[in-house]
Amino acid sequence: MSILVVGSVALDSIQTPFGKKDDVLGGSATYFSIAASFFNKVDIVATVGEDFPKRYITLFKCINIGTSGLSIAKGKTFRWKGRYNYDLNIAHTIYTHLNVFKGFKPEVPRSLRNSKFIFLANIDPELQYDVLTQIKNPKFIACDSMNYWIEHKRKDLERILEHIDMLLLNDSEARQFSGESNLIKAAQLIASFGPKAVVIKKGEHGVIYFSKNSHFIAPAYLLESLYDPTGAGDTFAGGMMGFLSKANRINESVIRKGIIYGSILASFAVEDFSVNRLLEISISDINSRYDHYRRITKF
Amino acid sequence: MSILVVGSVALDSIQTPFGKKDDVLGGSATYFSIAASFFNKVDIVATVGEDFPKRYITLFKCINIGTSGLSIAKGKTFRWKGRYNYDLNIAHTIYTHLNVFKGFKPEVPRSLRNSKFIFLANIDPELQYDVLTQIKNPKFIACDSMNYWIEHKRKDLERILEHIDMLLLNDSEARQFSGESNLIKAAQLIASFGPKAVVIKKGEHGVIYFSKNSHFIAPAYLLESLYDPTGAGDTFAGGMMGFLSKANRINESVIRKGIIYGSILASFAVEDFSVNRLLEISISDINSRYDHYRRITKF
């Protein structure tokens, strides 16, 4: 079943101890949709500026990513510049130029309003809610957020939590939202606002998934070389939801497998700058690494 | 088969955000042997002072821990005082009074020199080596160390690495020893000094085990309440070696299960101050948590 993602398509400038890149393809919807595209058709709802390289739009189309919801607005594309030191878990923002993203009002094309798997990437929770009102009969809605919205738009974020199946946050955001340092307690408090499941992302330390009655711990795939962690969380979400949409049923077992596929996709994403590594791999590379993951976690 | 541990038996004073305790039972050999005692007979080689409470020696004897190698020396027992803030992964030492431990020359009683499973807890690597020369036909030797020895007794530490089956270190120590920030590369470098296996302990983020041809990733058991992380690493080692000695064969599958048992024992240890929680539980509590761990990591 088809997947819809609402988020950013951006040009990133990135510095890590392993090199630097300027104006490369980035944005939450980009990472998400490329990861999900290994499993299913994905449609992007986002906006870019007139300076957005046409080759990227061609690329999206080539790999089964629908761009009918990707508008080209007057002005410049959203740009983010960040730096990572040796602790690649922490992104230091140098600048964020919202540009055309400042006036972004996501409009879901009529033909996509019956999409079944919806990912609300990290944008203003008011806009996330607005997107939901445009969708007809979704089957599974997942939502990401960030520290800024937790601090400045808490009420809007709480409202969206009543309407979603899964919230994805990193560990510091989960602690910030809940005021609980213990992650089990943090997840329980977040779940009390409505979402059926909470996924707490711990970067190189993996992921913890909480549902009402159970939890699931998945360590990250161990890498020998890690170049650029940008987009790892959105890639994780894309791999997971791609797998769920392909399975086309939601239960604990499918979600757990989806979480591992998400982790595997994220492990590829960080092996090169931007989405470069994701564009090199095939589903058989993904499946081999999934099998290897199973072997190195089995006991 | 019998287990021998050489390390410290101490009186700890501990402050955490959840309370404080003075002069409670601690030390690497204490945590190790109580954890291992759930599986097999353990013998301690250590020294305490004349002020060491007799009730603790009675306790050791009660739970199948041999004390023929535990000498009582003139002077005071080794004391450590530490503080943890909300990040319970980091111990801040307030003082270390070596006391009788300063002159400690481990002497393995003749009757214990054919012990098969040997744990060299974190003491001066010169002394660790000296212990090895006293042991006849060991089957499995594991060794722990710390930043101080890596910095000040590197040559002695390298020498002992040639003679052991497994080195246990935490992640920062592995990085310090190897000069590699990536843990796969760090483990490979450490393994090149001799040990068949390297276990890197990441506290609340679990454990990674490296052998020559493979690795194994084990997340930590997730806890809702965590009071005092003191001794978690030695408890882990005790649970693991207890299991190995009971299985009495060493292969990848047994080691992996042992690592999970070690993690489970450590998860109990941190639920209360000192060894209190370990003294409350039974092997059936351990097995239930092991089964739960399997369920929350299965996919």
CATH code, domain with A43 = 3.40.1190.20
Tokens 């994905």, residue located? A42
Six-digit token string for B139: 């089957």
Interchain proximity B208–A222, CB inside 8 Å: yes
Give the one of A217, A219, A259 whose C-beta lies nearest to B222's C-beta: A217
Determine what percent of chain B is predicted with pLDDT higher than 70: 100
Q: Indicate the SS3 state at residue B132.
A: helix
Q: What is the DSSP string of chain A?
A: --EEEES--EEEEEEETTEEEEEEEE-HHHHHHHHHTTTS-EEEEEEEETTS-HHHHHHHHHTTEEEEEEEEESSPPPEEEEEE-S-TT-EEEEEEE-GGGGG------GGGTT-SEEEE-SS-HHHHHHHHHH-SS-SEEEEE--HHHHHH-HHHHHHHHTT-SEEEEEHHHHHHHHS-SSHHHHHHHHHTTS-SEEEEE-GGG-EEEEESS-EEEEPPPP-S-----TTHHHHHHHHHHHHHHHHT---HHHHHHHHHHHHHHHHHHTTSSTTHHHHH--HHHHHHHHHHHHHHH--
Q: Which residues does chain A have with pLDDT short of 50? A: none
Average confidence (pLDDT) over B132-138: 97
pLDDT of residue B90: 85
Interchain proximity A297–B296, CB inside 8 Å: no
pLDDT of residue A72: 97
A225-256 pLDDT per residue, tens:
899 999 999 999 999 999 999 998 999 999 99
A189-229 pLDDT per residue, tens:
999 999 999 999 999 999 999 998 899 999 999 999 899 99
Which of B211, B287, B193 lies closest to B252, judged by CA?
A: B211
A208 CB neighbours in chain B (<8 A) are 222
> Mean pLDDT score of chain B, rounded to an integer?
96
Q: Phi and psi at residue B55, in whole multiples of 5°?
A: -65, -25
Average confidence (pLDDT) over B68-96: 93
Average confidence (pLDDT) over B177-185: 95
Give the one of B181, B217, B295 whose C-beta lies nearest to A222's C-beta: B217
A272-284 pLDDT per residue, tens:
999 999 999 999 9
Q: Is the ipTM of this complex over 0.90?
A: yes
A223 CB neighbours in chain B (<8 A) are 182, 184
Residue-wise over A190-211: b if at least 16 C-beta within 10 A, else e?
A: bbebebbbbbbbbbbbbbbbbb
Tokens 């079943």, residue located? A1
Nearest CA-CA distance, residue B256 and chain A, Å: 6
A224 CB neighbours in chain B (<8 A) are 182, 184-185
pLDDT of residue A88: 82
B199-248 pLDDT per residue, tens:
999 999 999 999 988 999 999 999 998 999 999 999 999 999 999 999 98
Q: At what angle do helices A232-247 and A252-269 cross, to 10 degrees?
A: 140
Which structural domain range is residue A65 located in?
Answer: 3-297
Any idea what DSSP says for residue B222? P
Nearest CA-CA distance, residue A31 and chain B, Å: 25
Average confidence (pLDDT) over B3-28: 96
What pTM does this model have? 0.95
pLDDT greater than 90 at residue B168: yes
Nearest CA-CA distance, residue B274 and chain A, Å: 21
Average confidence (pLDDT) over B69-92: 93
Interchain proximity B218–A259, CB inside 8 Å: no
A247 CB neighbours in chain B (<8 A) are none
How many domains, in total, are found in chain A?
A: 1
Q: Which residue does chain B place closest to A255, by CA atoms?
A: B299
Average confidence (pLDDT) over B35-63: 98
Residue B29 makes CB contacts below 8 A (sequence gap 6+) with B5, B6, B7, B8, B9, B44, B45, B46, B121, B234
